[in-house]
Structure formats: C-alpha cells, structure tokens
Amino acid sequence: MSAPLFPLFADLRNRPVRVVGGGGIAERKVEALLRAGALPRVGAPELSPRLQGWRDQGRIEWQAGEFREDWLDGVWLAIAATDDAAINQRVAAVAEARRLLFNVVDDAELSSFQVPAVVDRGALQIAISSGGAAPMLARHLRKRLEIQLDDAWGDLAALFARQRERIRARFPDLAQRRRFFEQLLAGPLQRLFRQRQQARAEEAFETSLRQTATAPTQGSVTLVGAGPGDPGLITLNALRAMNEADVILHDRLVSDEVLQLSRRDAVRIEVGKSAQGHSVRQEQIHALMLEHARAGKQVVRLKGGDPFVFGRGGEELEFLRAHAIPYEVVPGITAALACAAYAGIPLTHRDHAQSLRLVTAHCKDSQHLLDEGGLDWAALAQERQTLAVYMGVAGLDTVRTRLIQAGRAPQTPFALIENGSRANQRVVTGTLADLPDAARWHQVRSPALLILGEVAALADTLHWFGDAPLHAAPPHSANLPVPKLPQAA
C-alpha cells in the first residue's frame, strides 16, 4: 500500500506558477490560480478566448510555442494541462529533475501534487482528496458537503479572521479561548448570518466577547415546509434545518420519506392534525415549541407543503414573537403547485386562465365547510380562473352546488389529486356537474386537492407521473351501488 498524500494549503500570492496548455482545462486551472492570487505563466501555441482576455488585462503572462525547459525557470509549481500525453510527460520529467512540485491534469500517477475537490466558503476551504484512488468518491463527498454547509460558514470564518486579535487579547489562555468559540458556535451567530442580519450577528459576537460566565444557549424554531411528500421536493435549506434539529415537531401530512432525511438522533414528535379531530391541539403545539426552545434546543416545526399556505404558520410565528423565541421560515412546495405539476396541469395556461386562487374549505376552529358567508362564491365562479381547493373532500357537494348556482358552467373540468407526488398518487378528472359522484365512486380520500377550471382537462393529455387519470363515474352511476364517502377531508 502506498503512503497517503501529505495535505497542503499553499500560499501562492504573487508567486509565478507555470501552466502548460492553452485550452479549456488550462483555463480552469488558471482561474483557480488567479483566485488564489498567483501569477500564472501560460505556455501554449495559442490561447483560448478567456485566457486571451486575462492576458489582455495583464493578469497572466503568455509564452507562445511548444514546451521548452526554460519555461520552468523561476516558478514555484508547474501544471501540465495539455491533451498531449508526451508533452505532459516531458513537463513532469523536467519538473521532477528540478525538484519542482507538478501536477499533470487527470493523471494522478504522473503527478507529484494533486488539486483536491474543494468546498469553498470564503476563507474556509474544505479540500477533499482520495489520493487519486477514487476521484468519484471525493466528488460525491464534495457534493454532500456543498449541500450541508450553507454560506453562513464563510461569514463566520470572515468574522473570526477580523476579530482574531481581539479574541486572543480577551482570552489569552487557549482552553478559555476554546470554550469561548464553542459557546459562540452554539449560539445564534450562524443563524443570524443565514438570515442576513449582519449587524445583529456582530452584536451577538460583541455580547459573547463581553460575557465571562457561561450563558445558557438560546434555542430557536425553524418553520419548515416539507413539500407534498416526494422527498426530492424539499429545499436544501429544509434539509440543513432537519440535519441540525434537536427536536422535530411534524404534522401527520409529512411523508415518511421526508422524515427519513432528518438527523437520526433528533427527537421526533408527531403533532398531526386531521380534519376529523385535532390529535394535538394548536395550543399544545405552541407549548411544545416553547418548552424545547427555552431548553436551548434547535426546534424544527415541519409542515406539509408550505408553512404559510393553510398551515397555521402565521399563528405559530405570532406566538413565537410574543414569547421572544427567535425563528426562521423555510418555504415549501405547496400542494396546489405540486399536485398540478405531478398531474400535468399547467395552472395558468394562457389559453385558459389568467388567475389562480388558493381556497380552503375549512376555517379556524371549524370542521365544517364554510358554506354560509365565508366564501365569495360569485367571485369563485368567475371564468378564466383556476381554483385550487384545499381540504375539500368532504365538501364537494356544496362546492358543486354553490359554484353552479353562482354561474360556473356545469361542464367546467375538474381534477381531484389524491396523495399528490407520492407513489400512491391518483388523479380523477371529470366535469363540475359530476364532481361529488366521481369522488364517491373512486373513494377519494384525504389528502386530496381539487383543481377546478379549464386547465384541469389538460391532465388527460399531459399526465406523466403514475397512472393516467381516472374518469368520472360511468353513466347511470346513480343506479350503481355508490360507496359511502369517507368523512375525512
């Protein structure tokens, strides 16, 4: 077994580095060298347009022609980036004889140094190398780290660099200094950078620099939209929050696949609500958030879809604000958008609709459809608009009757999407007149979303996910035994 490589971060500022080759590969190396403040000297018969541009700006030197030994005079490193194996080998041999470190691009065997895969967060650089043994593995790991480490790390590194002297002066003792950093990192600094609250981050830093005694760490709550179910639809920010969470309070609507992505040792508490009954009341959810945040925990409040679309996110933020608990919000893909996409329904197709309304069939503290008063049926019945009705399965009779009374055509197409974006997704299409019968016939259950408007008919041709749409009840369905509609919505 060969010995592992010696990791090294080189200071190349104002140091000449030879790059042999003038094409695309050389271009990438030169770009990295320029970022590090090096003085690239490029030797090649001709230059790519970008290299030519850097030369015109005086940022690189160019020696025209074929490789010559004297190209390695006065440089600190050499990089062979041509597509000619013989030239690359000559560069390697000459550099070796001169005890110059050299890299042959894409040839780890021939190189005496390698350029690692890098996760770049400003002053903080994470370099990954497999010593040429498994570059794919290194690249894969790099991708994972890219996802996990947000930009706040770069801001933290910059702050620490700026404040280095002051921190040393304040805590001359190494053990003390270490404790200080640990406390600082457990605090709100990183969150504040993520929220682009530079001034408050600086303030938090100043406060901890003044403090001597160990202050209790401050907890926080992140409201996270988990999307409709397909784990591929959560955001990078959601993934990070779930990775950092100590406690996850999740709705029943959040899919198992999404929950699998959260930190293994996080405490998971289901606070699911269904339309039949509140399995955990909203006040209890508030109390749980408060309890854990006050205990210094990073709490993630994970909700189906988007937290601000019929998700009670607003009430939760008001509560947190009133109790001075810091919070963040990560949006998610709401059911209307996901169901439409996964059913092949372009919500505002310009031939058919100019607006989209998100409507709920429930209101606060009510388990019943807002039949009287709450909804403006005349407005909902207008043409050339698409309705996305949440939590509506139990109220479809009312929806049909009211909309037709208010003037919407009985032939208006609908699509009911059950378990949108999940493996068990079902789509039922038909016309408004048949809506409740169709739902009963196919026993559509919660979670299901109703899309009503001309665009809904496009699901029949544009569907791409799962099975083709089912159609409304067969003719004379009134004579057939009709399964009882579940009361769930």
Contacts with ligand SAH by CB under 6 A lie at: 228-229, 253, 303-306, 309-311, 334-335, 339, 390-391, 417, 419-422, 446-449, 489
* Closer by beta carbon to ligand SAH, 20 or else 417: 417
Reply yes or no on whether 251 is catalytic: yes
Minimum separation from the CB atom of position 307 to ligand SAH (A): 7
CA distance linking residue 304 with residue 317, whole number of Å: 16
Give 134's DSSP letter. -
- Give me the amino acid identity at 290: L
Residue 243 CA to residue 241 CA, distance in Å, equals 5
Give the distance, in angstroms, between the CA of residue 428 and the centroid of all CA atoms in the same chain: 31
Minimum CB separation of residue 392 from ligand SAH in Å reads 6
Question: In this complex, which beta carbon is closest to ligand SAH, that of residue 43 or of residue 447?
Answer: 447
Q: Which residue is nearest to ligand SAH (CB)?
A: 305
Nearer CB in complex with ligand SAH: 381/416: 416
Backbone angles phi, psi at 135, to 5 degrees: -60, -30
User: Nearest approach, Cβ of 450 to ligand SAH (angstroms)?
Assistant: 8
Nearer to ligand SAH, 22 or 228 (CB): 228
Helices 152-170 and 174-186, packing angle to 10 deg: 150
Nearer to ligand SAH, 7 or 232 (CB): 232
Q: Smallest distance from the beta carbon of 28 to ligand SAH, in angstroms?
A: 42
Catalytic residue, chosen from 155, 230, 251, 434, is 251
Close Cβ partners of 293 (under 8 Å, ≥ 6 residues apart) = 219, 220, 221, 299, 320, 325
Give the integer Cα–Cα distance in Å for 385 and 414: 12
**Tokens 């209101």 identify what position?**
363
Pairing of strands 298-303, 385-390: unpaired
Name the residue nearer to ligand SAH (CB basis): 116 or 229: 229
We find the least distance from the C-beta atom of residue 419 to ligand SAH, in angstroms, to be: 5
The residues near 489 (Cβ < 8 Å, ≥ 6 apart) are 275, 361, 362, 391, 392, 393, 394, 395, 446
Distance of closest approach, residue 238 Cβ to ligand SAH, in angstroms = 13
Instruction: State how far the Cα of 2 lies from the Cα of 18, in Å rounded to an integer.
Output: 28
Do the Cβ atoms of 192 and 216 come closer than 8 Å? no
Catalytic residue flag (residue 273)? yes
Of the residues 107, 246, 273, 460, which is catalytic? 273
CB atoms within 10 A of CB 28: 14
Rg value, the chain, Cα:
31
Start-to-end Cα distance in the chain: 63
Task: Report the catalytic residues.
Answer: 251, 273
